Amino acid sequence: MTRAGFVTIVGKPNAGKSTLLNRLVGERLAIVSPKPQSTRDRVVGILTDESSQIVLFDTPGLLEPRFALHRAMQHAAQKAIADADLIVHLVDASEDVPTDLTALAGLPQAPKAPVLLALNKVDRLSAARRAEFAERYPLAVQLAGGAGQGVDELLASIRAQLPESPFLYPEDDVSTQHLRFFVAEFLRESVLEQLEDEVPYGVAVEIEEFRETTDPVYIRAVLHVERDSQKRILIGAGGSRIKSLGQETRRKIEPLIGKPVFLDLWVKVLGNWRRNAASLERLGYKLPPANPA
């Protein structure tokens, strides 16, 4: 008898969802950043042992949508919630207290799947504060997903609540995403690491070409920005910034691809892409239907 199911990790931006996914799967699948709103779409991680298979969905942080990209991000989280057999609601306990998930996710009604509350970043809390949380939220798991504290307990709770089912994916799979996706995400992570303030938020990555049979592997990626001023920043003086973004990203993707990579980077202006439905679609972000039934 095996258990298997879809487990969706949700929470506010920066709660530590992607860090937790990586820790659970034991691979760096999702990009992580101290800046909020780093995850923009669903990321899948698969964790299989002899008797269970957990298909994890990492999601964009839940926020009040201000423009089209935010609506696409909220929609991705809502879909992952609808697909879930179990939801892990992750709260950064060092900054926040749990709030109502239905309202936070902008849902018309409570999700069908059971919700497991997990209080994260407890490594930042005093013993007294942890005890207070334990008393107030007796069913919540206390975690420090970054360091791995409490992760076994969370896994045990998840496994106990998975439906009985045959495995959904081959036992050796750790994700369902293709290499292209990881290349685009790691490039965006490098942008989050190297650039300040608003710049990373205006960057979207498109992989235009991916030739795996050549040596080195040839990848052409476009960094789309919203304005000329952002383009200048991304290129940097004498091309210094784009060069270092390329170097950093190659360092991350070459172990994944297993071969040397020639990463051909371009920066283009796609005016106001975050607010434009056609641009978002082209970049692979799915907006909710305009008039939901």
Ligand X SMILES: Nc1nc2c(ncn2[C@@H]2O[C@H](COP(=O)(O)OP(=O)(O)OP(=O)(O)O)[C@@H](O)[C@H]2O)c(=O)[nH]1
Binding site for ligand X (CB under 6 A): 11, 13-19, 32-34, 36-39, 60-61, 120-121, 123-124, 144-146
Chosen from Mg ion, ligand X, none, partner binding at 53 (C-beta under 5 to 8 Å by type): none
- How is residue 146 annotated by DSSP? T
Residues 27-56, interacting with Mg ion (CB under 5 A): 38-39
In the list 8, 18, 78, 142, the residue contacting Mg ion (rule: CB under 5 A) is: 18
Report the residue number, 200 or 263, with the smaller CB distance to ligand X: 200
Pairing label, strands 86-92, 115-120: parallel
Query: Minimum distance from CB of 25 to ligand X (Å)?
Result: 13
Phi and psi angles of residue 198, each rounded to the nearest 5 degrees, phi first: -80, -15
Which residue stretch of 9-17, 98-106, 199-207, 280-288 sits at the interface with Mg ion (rule: CB under 5 A)? Answer: 9-17
151-161 vs 17-25: helix axis angle to the nearest 10?
Answer: 80
Query: Does position 22 bind Mg ion by CB under 5 A?
Result: no
Burial 239-272 (b: 16+ CB within 10 A, else e): eebbeebbebbbebbeeebeeebebebebeebee
Report the residue number, 16 or 217, with the smaller CB distance to ligand X: 16
Query: Minimum distance from CB of 245 to Mg ion (Å)?
Result: 20
Chosen from Mg ion, ligand X, none, partner binding at 246 (C-beta under 5 to 8 Å by type): none
Report the residue number, 8 or 39, with the smaller CB distance to ligand X: 39
Question: What are the DSSP E strand ranges found in the chain?
Answer: 3-11, 43-48, 52-58, 86-92, 115-120, 141-142, 204-211, 217-225, 261-269
Count of positions on this chain that bind Mg ion (CB under 5 A) = 4
Instruction: Give the integer Cα–Cα distance in Å for 14 and 44.
Output: 18
Query: Minimum distance from CB of 267 to Mg ion (Å)?
Result: 24
Report the residue number, 66 or 243, with the smaller CB distance to ligand X: 66
Closest listed residue to residue 204, CA positions, set 127, 269, 122, 118: 269
- Cis peptide bond N-terminal to 216, omega within 30: yes
Query: Minimum distance from CB of 250 to ligand X (Å)?
Result: 22
Query: Minimum distance from CB of 180 to ligand X (Å)?
Result: 20
